[in-house]
Structures are given as C-alpha cells and as structure tokens.
Amino acid sequence: MPRSIALPVLATLVLLCTACDRENDRESSGPRLPSNLLQHDRALSKQQQLTFYSGRSFAVNPWVLAPASTTARDGLGPLFNARSCTACHVNGGRGRLPANQGEPLVSSVLRISAQGEPSAQRGVAPHPDYGTQLQLQGTAAAGAPPEVSAHIRYRYHSGQYPDGRPYELREPIYRVDEWHYGEPSAPLKTSLRTAPPLIGLASIEAISDNTLLAYADPNDSDGDGISGRANRVWSVAEKTEVIGRFGHKAGQPSLRQQTADAFAEDMGLTNALFPHSRCTQRQTGCHQAPSGNGTEQTVEVSDEILDAVTLFAGHLRVPSPRPYLGSGRKLFENLQCAACHRHSIATATASPLKGKTIDPYSDFLLHDMGDGLADHRSEFLANGREWRTAPLWGIGLTKRLHPDAGYLHDGRARSIEEAILWHGGEAQQSRQRFMQRSAEDRQALIDFLESL
Ligand code: HEC
Ligand code: HEC
C-alpha cells in the first residue's frame, strides 16, 4: 500500500477505535444511553470481535443488484423487502410502522400462506404464486416488479380505565392495492410482522431445551390461567424437528437459520441453508435475473459471510438497566407479568455462556394472547392466537433508537401502556389487574419497564 494511502487509513482506524472505547466506557459508567445497539457483548474474544465487525458491515451496508463491481455484496433480489438487515432492525433495534396512513411499509413484512396443508419444512402452506412473504420491492427493469403495491391504514379503538381515564389503541390494517402476478383465487392468510430488536440473542440460543420445557405448562396443571408451550420447527441443518426460539411465533430454531432465512426471504439472497431462489414458477423475470454468484461461489451469500452475520446477530450487547427504586418492579410480580416475562433464566452449562444467568424477561414460549392480537395464521405448532413472549430487556431504549418504533409483533402499540392494554387470552387477568390499579401504580410499572 503506498504511504500516502496507508497513513490516512491508519489515522481513521485509530480514530474509530478511540471512538469505540469511549462508547464502551460511557455505557459501563452509567448515565449516558447508547443511541444504537450495534456494539458487541463482552463474551467475544479478540478474534471473534473482528468477525463481529465484518458481520456488522454486511448487515448494515446495503446489498446491491447483480451484476455489480462488488461481488461480495451483490445478488440482492430481484424481489426483496429491504437492502440491509438494519433497514428493518433499525440501529440494531426494532422496526416501525409508517407514522401516517397510506405510506408504504418499511421495516415490517407481510407473511402469507395459502389455506391448504402446511409444508413440514416451512410450517405453513406456501402460496403457489407468492410464496410465504410478500415482496414489496423488485426490479421492474429486469421483468421482476414487486409482488404487490400495498399500504397501511389504522383503525383506532378507544376505551376507559375503571378510574375514568381514557385511552386509545391503534390497530394496523394492511391493504393490497395491486397484485402484480395475478390476484390470488382464494383469500390468503396474512400476518404483519415488525422486526424485533437483535440484542442478546446468542444467550437465548444458549438456554437448554430442558430449561425451556420446564417452564411450559401446556395443560395449565398449576391452574394459574397461564399455560405456555414450546413451538417445534424444522431445522434445515439437522434435518429434523427441534424447539423453535426465534421470531414472533418462535418459528426459527437457530440464529444461523434465522439469518439465512432473512437473507433468502427478506433480501432475495441465496445461501448454504437456502440455496434456491424463492422466485415462484409464475415469476419468470425473477428466474431470469442475473444472480450474484461470484466466480468461485455457487450461492450469493458465502458461508464466511453467513457465519459472520450470524455471529454479529447473536452478539449485540444488552444495554445495562438504569437504576430504578420505585414500586414498579414489585407490581410487575404482583400483576403476574413475570409468569410469562421471566427475569432470570440460566443458560446451559455446556453452552459458551457456561451456565451464566441472563435477564431477558421472557420464557420464550407461545401463549394464547386473545382475539385482539390474533393473526389467524398458524406457523408450525403455533396457532393463530399464539405469540412468543416478547423479551423486555432493553425495552426502555426503544424510542431513543427510533421515535416511531412500535411495540408488539406488528409494531401497533405506540407506547408500553398500549402494548399492555392489547394483552388478552392467557394474559387477560394480568391486563385487568393493571387496569384496576391507580394511575400512579400504572405509571410506576411503566417507569420500571422504561428503566430496562
Ligand atoms: C424486511 C425487513 C427485515 C430484514 C431486511 C431483516 N429482518 Fe430480521 N426480522 C424481521 C422480522 C419481521 C422478524 C420477525 C420474524 C418472525 O416473526 O418470524 C425478524 C426477526 C429476526 C431475528 C429473530 C429475533 C428474535 O428475537 O427472535 C433475527 C436474529 C433477525 N431477524 C436477523 C436478521 C438479519 C441478520 C438480517 C440481515 C441478513 C435481517 N434480520 C434482515 C425483519 C427483517
Ligand atoms: C400470558 C403471558 C403474558 C403475561 C401474563 C404478560 N405478557 Fe406481556 N407479552 C406476552 C406476549 C406473548 C407478548 C408478545 C405479543 C405480541 O408480540 O403481539 C408480550 C408483549 C409485551 C410487551 C411488548 C414488548 C415488545 O417488545 O413489543 C410489553 C411491554 C409487555 N408484554 C408487558 C407486560 C406487562 C407489564 C405485563 C403484566 C401487566 C405482561 N406483559 C403480562 C405475554 C405475556
């Protein structure tokens, strides 16, 4: 490298590293809060940290259409939903719904399925022309226009607490305006999903199956109204059914498969686990579009990149909770929130975390959440009313990462309070207890969650 280039590059590297260190110090000394979640956790060796940063660059920088001058990051689409992981997982955090009605959908996806028998490997019945997820972006020039044009509208529901205070809930309604590959002959089952935050995920993978199964109570034998059961899903690598952990219905078994599926489904990029393009038979332009295969590769995302992005996705650091001394923590127990949102879970002794306890505030099991939240679309064992308990760690930083970020599987809740008020089904009693509390108590509970 000629000296004139090497020096500025070195200087930039040094500057970048000082910036990283400052970021680290800031977090451990408390008061200043991070504005993104893209820092690695402390479990990584120096070598793994390099892989993390490499993975981060492939997750953050946009992928491009093939053919392109870069062969490492080409092959996007031609049908896709976004160009990078962080287009949806904004700043490493969650996605959002459009603030205004009629705006296009960003950072959320619309899952679909046909009415028939689910496929053993996908857990749903793929639609012959549209697959299992609607692609909102495409490459019209290459004969592959987006699958649909669609928009979001909101329906508002108003209600009142027993103490007379009013509240309002927002429900998103998704409308397809135009089907670019023909209108489906029978109605599809649909499920709107917003990207969840990516923090702490390798530690969720480190929980043993037995620990998760011990929390399950499918027949509610302790009679507390809360059951909880594990999903069982197809593992592509192991070629068998295993416990599901990732996604809003726990439909993915591992971080690697979840990452590979994101590449394939959200970005249109083939990889070792999903080597075939997801273009359907009817999408001829999609089949004919140039692929992003480099000269030595057969898939668009090399194994090295898939592994680096998987390591990245698993090791975003969980932000430390802020000090909280009020009564909200106790209320969280008393209102039975902790029956599903468990704070401490031990990881497996055989895992890289060696039995360390984590505080995700989730049991990672499926719960019936009632009609209000139902999507009426099953995924493997999860039925249309069931959702995986959302982990609550880091939830207090949500609005800092994006002011429009929403809560719950489809981002409908504009505040933590709205999220609680949507709870039904097994959580109905918990929501009722919340509503019956005084306004001060309700605020204390929310303040506690804001401190996480
Ligand atoms: C178009 C938006 C979009 C893009 C792009 C996207 N994701 Fe996601 N991601 C989602 C949604 C929506 C979910 C929830 C899926 C579900 O419920 O099954 C999700 C879930 C996940 C999860 C599971 C998190 C959990 O708590 O269970 C991981 C991990 C993940 N994505 C990683 C990635 C990676 C890595 C990339 C880039 C290769 C990526 N995602 C690209 C929207 C996106
Ligand atoms: C029966 C189990 C159960 C109980 C009890 C329960 N929750 Fe939940 N909670 C869930 C599930 C499942 C979700 C995810 C629902 C979805 O994504 O639509 C969730 C989501 C949330 C969210 C949104 C999280 C996010 O990241 O979007 C918040 C906040 C929350 N719960 C707080 C509470 C509080 C506070 C209580 C007690 C008043 C409570 N929950 C009681 C199961 C439960």
Does 206 score more than 80 pLDDT?
A: yes
Does 71 score more than 80 pLDDT?
A: no
More confident residue, 450 or 25: 450
Does 5 score more than 60 pLDDT?
A: no
- Average pLDDT of the segment spanning 228-242: 97
**Top mutation candidate among 91, 231, 258 for ligand 1, by most atoms within 8 Å of CB:** 258
Q: How far is the CA of 248 from the centre of ligand 1 (A)?
A: 10
Read off the tokens for 259. Answer: 């990452």
Give pLDDT, residue 99: 85
Nearest partner of 442 among 343, 361, 331, judged by Cα: 331
Does 28 score more than 80 pLDDT?
A: no
**Top mutation candidate among 89, 327, 393, 423 for ligand 2, by most atoms within 8 Å of CB:** 423
Give pLDDT, residue 19: 40
More confident residue, 448 or 7: 448
Give pLDDT, residue 296: 54
Q: Please state which of the ranges 70-84, 287-301, 416-430 shows the lowest mean pLDDT.
A: 287-301
Give pLDDT, residue 56: 98
- Average pLDDT of the segment spanning 420-430: 98
Q: How far is the CA of 72 from the centre of ligand 1 (A)?
A: 21
Q: Is the CB of 259 under 6 A from ligand 1?
A: yes
Report the first-to-last Cα separation within the chain, whole angstroms. 47
Across 437-447, b (16+ Cβ under 10 Å) vs e yields beeebbebbbb
CA distances from 59 to 141, 245, 246 (A): 26, 21, 18
Task: Give CA 278 to chain center in angstroms.
Answer: 21
- Average pLDDT of the segment spanning 377-389: 98
Give pLDDT, residue 67: 84
Residue 425 CA: which ligand is closest?
2
Give pLDDT, residue 140: 84
Q: Is the CB of 63 under 6 A from ligand 1?
A: no
Residue 424 CA: which ligand is closest?
2
Q: How far is the CA of 311 from the centre of ligand 1 (A)?
A: 14
Across 287-303, b (16+ Cβ under 10 Å) vs e yields eebebbbbeebebbbbe
Write the pLDDT tens digit of every residue in 264-312. 999 999 999 999 999 999 999 998 888 887 555 589 999 999 999 999 9
Does 7 score more than 50 pLDDT?
A: no
Evaluated on CA atoms 361, 363, 364, 369, the torsion sign reads: negative
Residue 410 CA: which ligand is closest?
2
Give pLDDT, residue 173: 93
Atom of ligand 2 nearest to the CA of 248: 17
Does 188 score more than 50 pLDDT?
A: yes
pLDDT band at 15 (very low <50, low <70, confident <90, very high): very low
Q: How far is the CA of 256 from the centre of ligand 1 (A)?
A: 12
Residues composing the chain: 452
- Torsion angle, CA of 107/229/367/362, rounded to 10 degrees? -60
Atom 30, ligand 2: residue with shortest CA distance: 420
Residue 441 CA: which ligand is closest?
2
Evaluated on CA atoms 418, 388, 376, 103, the torsion sign reads: positive
Residue 198 CA: which ligand is closest?
1
- Average pLDDT of the segment spanning 246-255: 98
Average pLDDT, the chain: 91
What's the one-letter identity of residue 83?
Answer: R
pLDDT above 70 coverage of the chain, percent: 92
pLDDT above 90 coverage of the chain, percent: 81
Write the pLDDT tens digit of every residue in 329-352. 999 999 999 999 999 999 999 999
Q: Is the CB of 248 under 6 A from ligand 2?
A: yes
Atom 15, ligand 1: residue with shortest CA distance: 247
Tell me the C-alpha distance between 59 and 210, whole Å.
Answer: 32
Specify burial of residue 206 (Cβ count, 10 A radius: 0-12, 13-18, 19+): buried
- Average pLDDT of the segment spanning 317-325: 96
Does 21 score more than 70 pLDDT?
A: no
Atom 39, ligand 2: residue with shortest CA distance: 337
Q: How many Cβ atoms sit within 10 Å of the Cβ of residue 450?
A: 18
Q: How far is the CA of 60 from the centre of ligand 2 (A)?
A: 29
Q: Is the CB of 311 under 6 A from ligand 1?
A: no
Tell me the C-alpha distance between 334 and 448, whole Å.
Answer: 14
Q: Do 342 and 215 contact (CB within 8 A), yes or no?
A: yes
**Top mutation candidate among 85, 302, 312, 388 for ligand 1, by most atoms within 8 Å of CB:** 85
pLDDT band at 106 (very low <50, low <70, confident <90, very high): confident
Does 4 score more than 70 pLDDT?
A: no
